[in-house]
Structure 1
Amino acid sequence: MTTVQHIWELLDAVPDPEIPVVSIRELGILRDVREDDQGLEIIITPTYSGCPAMDQIADDIRTALAQQQLSARITTQLAPAWTTDWISAAARIKLHSYGIAPPHTLAPGGDRVIRFAPRLSAAQAVACPQCGSSHTTETSHFGSTACKALYKCLDCLEPFDYFKTY
């Protein structure tokens, strides 16, 4: 019998298909692992409801489980909606090292209303993951994926993705 904790650890090695330096668990996409009389169930939540990577994530989970001779029902849960607050501290460091500016965290009790074009204050300026400068500008609200925006550093002139805060 496989423990639920073992499954969590096994799935911690499943990378996000769009950002392979972080796992689906580190990004907060892997929400729960349950075992009941019907077997194992894996709960995943997309970073946004139209995320095209969800089928690939489900396939990658099935593959990881099959390598251990396991199977599970995979359930996509849309509520509560995924939030960047679910990204682990380790994943934020990995995103930065990979060249993606990690999302800002919200203060406890902070405004959690999704804005389509949020205005960042000077204190929330997006720092360049290459040189660390906060002298940056958003060049496109939609980057390589819909959950990221494209920024440019005005000091080193490098473009980079910023993982939007949700």
Structure 2
Amino acid sequence: MVETLEATAVERAWRIASEVTDPELPMLTLADLGVLRDVRQDDDGTIVVAITPTYTGCPAMATMRDDLVHRLTDAGFSSVRVRVQLSPPWTTDWITDEGRKALSDNGISPPGQAPRGPISLQLAPTRRAIHCLQCGSGDTEVTSEFGSTACKALYRCRACGEPFDHVKEI
């Protein structure tokens, strides 16, 4: 009977945690972004949520933690702890198909496949095959490797002139 109650509590906590949105990309849930890694219940009843930062030093982690704690405590969980899980490191490949569509629907170019293996150091901007979300043109240029957040690059379409963010592959 206890196992059933624990599984139910964990499943409920997972559902609630998976609905929390990213503070920098509010069209994505933490689950769609792939940063929500695990939800479990300790022996003392504490709900423990594991999240992985999109990159080391991500300033949104504190807000993610606070939002998770608030949502879960508001849902009736009396003890909640959020832990940061660094291994394996997050990759843009963990963004769900629904998350990629939500990015695109909101004018942000979703990432392509993350690089594999050793990554060579480049001093020039990364070349990506990016298409404009407004007109579909592939004639785009990077204007800054840092867009509205450090995990996005700013692009401009040469065909229609529209600027747009692109989530960088990592």
Question: TM over 0.5, yes or no?
Answer: yes
Shift of 1:119: 4.0
The separation in 2 between residues aligned to 1:40 and 1:66, in whole angstroms, is 10
Sequence identity (%):
47
Deviation for aligned residue 1:113? 3.8
Question: Aligned to 1:129, which of 133, 136, 140?
Answer: 133
Deviation per residue, 1:69-115 (Å, 9 max, x gap): 11321101112111001100000000001110000025xxx624456
- Find the partner of 1:63 among 47, 66, 70: 70
- The gaps in structure 1 that reach 5 residues or longer are none
1:139 is displaced (CA, Å) by 0.7
Q: How does 1:68-147 map to 2 (within 5 A)?
A: 68-70=75-77, 71-106=79-114, 111-114=116-119, 117=122, 119-120=126-127, 125-147=129-151
Cα 1:152–1:60 shift into 2, 3 Å: same
Following TM superposition, the consecutive aligned residue runs of length 4 or more in structure 1 with deviations greater than 3 angstroms are 112-120
- Return closer, same or farther for 1:112/1:86 CA change in 2, 3 Å cut-off: farther
Question: Does residue 153 of structure 1 match 2:157?
Answer: yes
Which secondary structure state, in structure 2, belongs to the residue aligned with residue 31 of structure 1?
strand
| TM-score, L = length of structure 2 | 0.87
Asked whether 1:52 is paired with 2:56, we answer: no
Please list every run of 5 or more consecutive structure 2 residues that lacks an aligned counterpart in the other structure: none
Taking only aligned residues, the RMSD between alpha carbons, in angstroms, comes to 1.7
Of 1, 10, 20, the residue aligned with 1:14 is: 20
2-side partners of 1:161 and 1:115: how far apart?
Answer: 24
Instruction: Give secondary structure in 1 for the equivalent of 2:30.
Output: coil
Question: Scaled by the length of structure 1, what TM-score is found?
Answer: 0.89
Cα separation, partners in 2 of 1:136 and 1:111, compared to 1, 3 Å: same
CA distance in 2, matches of 1:127, 1:11: 33
Q: Give 1:88's aligned amino acid.
A: T
Q: CA deviation at 1:46?
A: 0.7
Match of 1:37 in 2: 43
